[in-house]
Amino acid sequence: MSLTSLDPRVTRLNLPEGEAPAIEPKPELDQFETYEVFHQKKEGAAYTYVGPVHAPNEEVAFLFAKEQYSRRAACTGMWIARTEHIQVTPYAGDGENVYDMVRAQDPTEQSEQPEPYEIFHLKKRGKAHTHAGRVMATSYQEALQEARNQYGDKGPIVNVWVVMSKHVLQSAEEDKDMWTTIPEKKYREAIAYKVMDKITKYKEEHKTTAS
């Protein structure tokens, strides 16, 4: 069976007719690793988790994140961290505080000098992790304890993410202008196309003939 495309770009390809060749199975582990993306919705707001991207490295992850998560929504900055670099606590139930559950643990890896770590809190299941602040510590475990001391009493916290600051790629202050025109790009959103009036009008006009 051959199909004629209405898309001139497809027609130009002069695709051969007949059965499509079988797709060879891909070798294992050919997937990109995942990176987690945080964005800042407006100046001064805390960075909030928006979702993951698959990418071969951090800088390409940044490009993908820019397209996936700030092509439409208002944004003033973006952070990227490799999923593998994020330490996750157990989950508490809604209304509980996970810091009450986690016990002090011995560090698995420790640095000689204290280093900065970023702390993200999930306040309620189904919401997004939000940046709570930065602590200085020599290990993830110590960073979590430090976070508990500094931010642990602020209402229910169901989950905490801890990531070393040096593993977070942060968009540069001088690159903020990459996002300044986003609010004017309403044409990128389906809501900008006001077609319902036209559809309603069309239906009205064709009401009698349709039945």
Partner 1 sequence: MNELAIKDLLYKLADDQLILGHRNSEWTGFGPILEEDIAFSSMAQDKIGHSLAFYTLLQELGEAEPDTVAFTRNANQFHNSQLVELPNGEYDFSLIRHFLYDNAEIIRFEMLSQSSYEPIAKVATKLKGEVKYHVLHANTWIKNLGASTEEAILRLQSALDEAIPYALGMFEPSKYEQELIESGVYAGEEAVKTAWLQRIKTVIEKTELKLPDLSTIEPRFGGRYGEHTEHLQPLLDEMAEVFKIDPTAEW
Q: Which is nearer to partner 1, 55 or 160 (CB)?
A: 55
Site membership for partner 1, residue 60 (CB under 8 A): yes
Site membership for partner 1, residue 34 (CB under 8 A): no
Site membership for partner 1, residue 57 (CB under 8 A): yes
User: Do 130 and 118 form a contact (C-beta atoms < 8 A)?
Assistant: no
Q: Which is nearer to partner 1, 9 or 207 (CB)?
A: 9
Calpha distance 41→59 (Å, rounded): 21
94: Cβ contacts below 8 Å, ≥ 6 apart: 124, 125, 156, 158
Site membership for partner 1, residue 179 (CB under 8 A): yes
Calpha distance 32→137 (Å, rounded): 31
Q: Which is nearer to partner 1, 62 or 140 (CB)?
A: 62
Residues 120-159 vs partner 1: string with x where CB under 8 A?
Answer: ----------------------------------------
Tokens of 46: 């805390």
Interface segment toward partner 1; rule CB under 8 A; list 3-11, 83-91, 153-161, 200-208: 3-11
Which residue of 15, 45, 63, 101 would you call a contact of partner 1, by CB under 8 A?
A: 63
Q: Which is nearer to partner 1, 13 or 46 (CB)?
A: 13
First to last CA, the chain: 36
Q: Which is nearer to partner 1, 15 or 46 (CB)?
A: 15
What is the phi/psi pair of residue 198, to 5°?
A: -65, -40
Q: How far is the CB of 177 from partner 1 (least distance, A)?
A: 3
Site membership for partner 1, residue 201 (CB under 8 A): no
Site membership for partner 1, residue 64 (CB under 8 A): yes
Number of residues that this document lists for the chain = 211
Enumerate binding residues for partner 1 (CB under 8 A): 7-9, 53, 56-57, 59-60, 62-64, 66-68, 71, 175-181, 185, 187-188, 193, 195
